[in-house]
Protein backbone atom coordinates (compact mmCIF):
# COMPACT_ATOMS: atom_id res chain seq x y z
CA UNK A 1 0.00 0.00 0.00
CA UNK A 2 1.30 3.45 -0.85
CA UNK A 3 0.64 7.02 0.28
CA UNK A 4 -0.90 8.10 3.56
CA UNK A 5 -3.65 5.95 5.05
CA UNK A 6 -6.00 7.10 7.78
CA UNK A 7 -8.42 4.98 9.78
CA UNK A 8 -11.24 5.06 10.49
CA UNK A 9 -12.79 7.12 7.69
CA UNK A 10 -15.79 8.00 9.82
CA UNK A 11 -16.19 8.01 13.61
CA UNK A 12 -19.15 8.86 15.80
CA UNK A 13 -18.38 9.02 19.50
CA UNK A 14 -20.05 10.14 22.68
CA UNK A 15 -18.52 12.78 24.89
CA UNK A 16 -17.42 10.19 27.45
CA UNK A 17 -15.83 7.80 24.97
CA UNK A 18 -12.14 7.20 24.30
CA UNK A 19 -11.08 6.53 20.74
CA UNK A 20 -7.96 6.78 18.61
CA UNK A 21 -7.31 7.92 15.05
CA UNK A 22 -4.54 6.17 13.16
CA UNK A 23 -2.32 7.39 10.35
CA UNK A 24 0.27 5.39 8.44
CA UNK A 25 2.55 6.58 5.66
CA UNK A 26 4.50 4.49 3.17
CA UNK A 27 6.42 7.32 1.52
CA UNK A 28 9.63 7.19 3.53
CA UNK A 29 8.83 10.57 5.06
CA UNK A 30 10.08 11.55 8.49
CA UNK A 31 7.71 14.36 9.44
CA UNK A 32 4.02 13.87 10.23
CA UNK A 33 1.20 16.25 11.09
CA UNK A 34 -2.32 16.39 12.45
CA UNK A 35 -4.69 19.05 11.10
CA UNK A 36 -8.25 19.89 12.01
CA UNK A 37 -10.60 21.19 9.33
CA UNK A 38 -13.92 22.66 10.43
CA UNK A 39 -16.54 24.04 8.09
CA UNK A 40 -15.62 27.42 6.60
CA UNK A 41 -12.36 27.59 8.57
CA UNK A 42 -8.79 27.22 7.36
CA UNK A 43 -6.81 24.12 8.11
CA UNK A 44 -5.72 24.29 11.75
CA UNK A 45 -2.35 22.75 12.54
CA UNK A 46 -2.58 20.70 15.72
CA UNK A 47 0.67 18.77 16.08
CA UNK A 48 3.94 18.34 14.21
CA UNK A 49 6.29 15.42 14.62
CA UNK A 50 9.70 15.64 13.01
CA UNK A 51 12.10 12.70 13.27
CA UNK A 52 9.61 11.19 15.77
CA UNK A 53 9.85 14.13 18.14
CA UNK A 54 6.96 16.50 18.75
CA UNK A 55 8.14 19.89 17.59
CA UNK A 56 4.89 21.80 17.68
CA UNK A 57 1.74 21.76 19.76
CA UNK A 58 -0.54 24.60 18.81
CA UNK A 59 -2.39 25.16 22.10
CA UNK A 60 -4.48 22.10 21.50
CA UNK A 61 -6.72 21.02 24.43
CA UNK A 62 -5.40 18.10 26.44
CA UNK A 63 -8.37 15.97 25.41
CA UNK A 64 -6.35 15.46 22.19
CA UNK A 65 -3.19 13.43 22.76
CA UNK A 66 -0.82 12.56 19.89
CA UNK A 67 1.55 9.64 19.71
CA UNK A 68 4.26 8.94 17.16
CA UNK A 69 5.87 5.55 17.88
CA UNK A 70 7.97 5.61 14.69
CA UNK A 71 8.34 7.67 11.54
CA UNK A 72 5.63 5.73 9.70
CA UNK A 73 2.84 5.85 12.27
CA UNK A 74 0.94 8.63 13.98
CA UNK A 75 -1.98 8.40 16.37
CA UNK A 76 -4.40 10.90 17.81
CA UNK A 77 -5.97 9.73 21.05
CA UNK A 78 -9.32 11.29 21.88
CA UNK A 79 -11.13 11.43 25.21
CA UNK A 80 -14.00 13.45 26.70
CA UNK A 81 -14.47 15.41 23.49
CA UNK A 82 -16.97 18.20 23.01
CA UNK A 83 -19.49 18.61 20.17
CA UNK A 84 -17.40 21.50 18.79
CA UNK A 85 -14.60 19.00 18.18
CA UNK A 86 -16.64 17.52 15.36
CA UNK A 87 -14.58 18.09 12.20
CA UNK A 88 -12.48 16.46 9.51
CA UNK A 89 -9.14 15.39 10.98
CA UNK A 90 -6.37 15.18 8.43
CA UNK A 91 -3.01 13.51 8.75
CA UNK A 92 -0.17 14.57 6.49
CA UNK A 93 3.44 13.59 6.00
CA UNK A 94 6.46 15.16 4.36
CA UNK A 95 10.18 14.93 4.00
CA UNK A 96 12.24 16.70 6.64
CA UNK A 97 12.97 19.43 5.77
CA UNK A 98 9.94 19.97 3.56
CA UNK A 99 10.70 19.29 -0.10
CA UNK A 100 10.15 22.42 -2.20
CA UNK A 101 8.50 20.38 -4.93
CA UNK A 102 6.27 17.99 -3.00
CA UNK A 103 5.15 19.75 0.18
CA UNK A 104 2.80 17.60 2.23
CA UNK A 105 0.93 14.46 1.27
CA UNK A 106 -2.43 14.20 2.99
CA UNK A 107 -4.38 11.16 4.08
CA UNK A 108 -8.04 10.80 3.23
CA UNK A 109 -9.10 12.11 6.63
CA UNK A 110 -11.35 10.96 9.47
CA UNK A 111 -14.77 12.58 9.67
CA UNK A 112 -15.42 12.82 13.42
CA UNK A 113 -18.82 13.50 14.91
CA UNK A 114 -19.14 13.99 18.68
CA UNK A 115 -22.63 13.44 20.03
Which residues are near other proteins by CB under 8 A? Answer: 31, 33, 40-43, 45, 48, 50, 55-56, 88, 90, 94, 96-98, 100-109, 111
Q: Where are the alpha helices (DSSP H) in the chain?
A: none
C-beta of 13 vs 88, nearer to other proteins:
88
CA distance 1 to 20: 21
Q: Which is nearer to other proteins, 25 or 94 (CB)?
A: 94
Asked, as a colleague might, if the bond just before 36 is cis with ω within 30 of 0, I would say: no
**In the complex, minimum distance from the CB of residue 16 to other proteins, in angstroms, rounded to a whole number:** 28
Distance of CA 79 to the CA centre of its chain: 15
Amino acid sequence: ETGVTQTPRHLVMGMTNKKSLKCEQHLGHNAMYWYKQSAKKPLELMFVYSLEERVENNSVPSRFSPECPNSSHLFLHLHTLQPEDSALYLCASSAHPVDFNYGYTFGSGTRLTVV
